[in-house]
Structure 1
Amino acid sequence: MKRIVINTALALGLGIGAASLAMADGDAKAGQTKAATCGACHGADGNSAVPTFPKLAGQGEKYLVKQMMDIKSGARQVPQMVGQLDNATPQDMRDIAAYFHAQTMQLSGSKPQKVKLNSGETVDGLTLGRKLFRAGDAAIGVPACMGCHSPTGKGNPPAGFPRLSGQYAEYIEKQLKAFREGSRANDGDTRVMRTVAKHLSDAEISAVANYIAGLTD
């Protein structure tokens, strides 16, 4: 029963929040103009050139709108975004989300990796990351990431589950650690991502983030 609850809860995804959020209805053409200032950090087409800034290209509209709303309200604290959305209307955010969703994400790729577990054992990071993404680890209460983010890591845009494949490993790692420490807390009342992340060690987070960055079709 416990595993059923965990798997059901994970359906909230990596910080997607309320399931009642309506599907975004934005204008991608209008969003291109409105997103001009976003390009300084995220790239004109949503493909950031800096690993600490997330790629927005190809992300689902619903997820992007939710994140912008949370950042504007303060529910998600992102120091680099302070003031950026103060004057953005809900329609502005829907349009920006529609524009970035329509772009193609450039894949980051994985790299060969060795990680040292808490036990002191050194293991292949890609093998460990693949296991966590595809099967989870029932022994520590971590369900498979692909249950919500899909086997290819493309997420589920209508449900608001974000795309992870092709995202920078550094950014994914940073977000998982933020959920683990509670500095990112916009994963809804179920606290699903915080609950999952708290069971992961630094080595496991690094391994699964690196594996995800290399997922393709």
Structure 2
Amino acid sequence: MKNIFRNAAMALALITAAATQQALAGGDAAAGEGKVAVCAACHGADGNSLAPNFPKLAGLGEKYLLKQLQDIKAGTRPVVEMTGLLDNSSDQDLADMAAFFASKPMQLSGAKEIRLRVNAGIEVDGLALGQKIYRAGNPVVGTPACTGCHSPRGLGNEPAGYPRLSGQHPDYIEKQLRAFRAGERVNDGDQKIMRQVAEYLSDADIKALANYIAGLN
């Protein structure tokens, strides 16, 4: 019964978050191309980062990207590597940058065959575990499936501001899930959607999910 109420509350939070998302000014992708030179060193000229610790920005979704840029500039989402980089960027600059990266196709990272040790030292197929959590969640602890926000193929939900996940570097996904679980990343809104999702994920769950998502398309 507890899990039923928890899942119902989570569903309501997702609906509320999507319904109350503020409308954002549209960006100009062409104008953004001339404003992202500083981003290329870490994220690639077209948003396809070659470094696994830096996220791919290509195709993540304009609304999501703009929110992250605004949060990083405001300090709501601290990112050490980006300290001061956006200080002189206007709201329109950020919108244009978001539009530029959102317009680019993401290159898939790809998943790997991995074995993971879970509770009681049992070794399992990591890809199968990642698929199970992504598509069905974990009803035992009330963790919802990722498909509800990020779609069955991991392509996200642009109108709601939920980012594309498929093809992202697994190292980066793992880092963000750990940050949400630890409460180190808190810019997922008042509903704490991602913090609640990650709350009961084990280290093995997170690694399995990150690896599986990297190969979605």
Asked if Structure 1 and Structure 2 have the same fold, meaning a TM-score greater than 0.5 normalized by the shorter chain, the answer is yes
Say how many residue pairs are matched: 213
Corresponding residue for residue 142 of structure 1: 143
Q: What is the aligned-residue identity percentage?
A: 58
8 Å Cα contact 1:180/1:197 also seen in 2? yes
What is the Cα deviation at residue 24 of structure 1? 4.2
Q: 1:59 to 1:102 in 2, by over 3 A?
A: same
Helix, strand or coil: the match of 2:88? coil
Residue deviations 1:113-151, cap 9 Å, x none? 111112321100000000000000110110000111000
Deviant stretches of 4+, over 2 Å:
7-12, 16-21
State the partner residue of 1:104. Answer: 105
Distance 2:144 2:20 in 1: 20
* Alignment partner, residue 23 of structure 2: 22
The higher relative CO (CA closer than 8 Å, separation ≥ 6) is in 1
Q: Give the letter aligned to residue 65 of structure 1.
A: L
Structure 2, unaligned runs of 5 or more: none
Q: CA deviation at 1:62?
A: 0.4
2:45 and 2:157 map into 1 onto residues whose CA distance is 24
Alpha-carbon RMSD across the aligned residues, in angstroms, is 1.6
TM-score by length of 1: 0.94
Structure 2 residue 42 is matched with structure 1 residue 41: yes
Give the structure 2 partner of residue 130 of structure 1. 131
The AA in structure 2 aligned to 1:123 is V
Aligned to 1:9: 13
Asked whether the 8 Å contact 1:114–1:122 carries over to 2, the reply is: yes
Equivalence for 1:72: 73
Residue correspondence of structure 1 range 164-175 to structure 2 within 5 A: 164-175=165-176
CA displacement 1:77-113 (0-9 Å, x = unmatched): 1100101100010000000001001101000000011
5+ residue gaps in structure 1? none
On the 8 A contact 1:62/1:157 being kept in 2, the answer is yes
CA contact (8 A) 1:75 1:186 kept: yes
SS of aligned partner of 2:140: helix
Matched residues in 2 for 1:25 and 1:110: separation? 34
1:32 equivalent in structure 2: 33
Residue 68 of structure 1 contacts residue 93 of structure 1 at CA under 8 Å; is this kept in 2? yes
Residues 137-189 of structure 1: per-residue CA shift (max 9 Å, x gap): 11011000011100000000111000000000000000000001111110111
**Could you tell me whether the CA contact under 8 Å between 1:19 and 1:159 is conserved in 2?**
no
Give the CA deviation at 1:22: 1.3
SS of aligned partner of 2:30:
helix
- Aligned to 1:39, what secondary structure does the other structure show? helix
Checking the alignment, whether the CA contact within 8 Å between 2:21 and 2:160 is kept in structure 1 is no
Report SS of the residue matched to 1:3.
Answer: helix
Q: Closer, same or farther in 2 for the Cα pair 1:10/1:121, shift >3 Å? A: farther
Worse overlay, 21-30 or 120-129 = 21-30
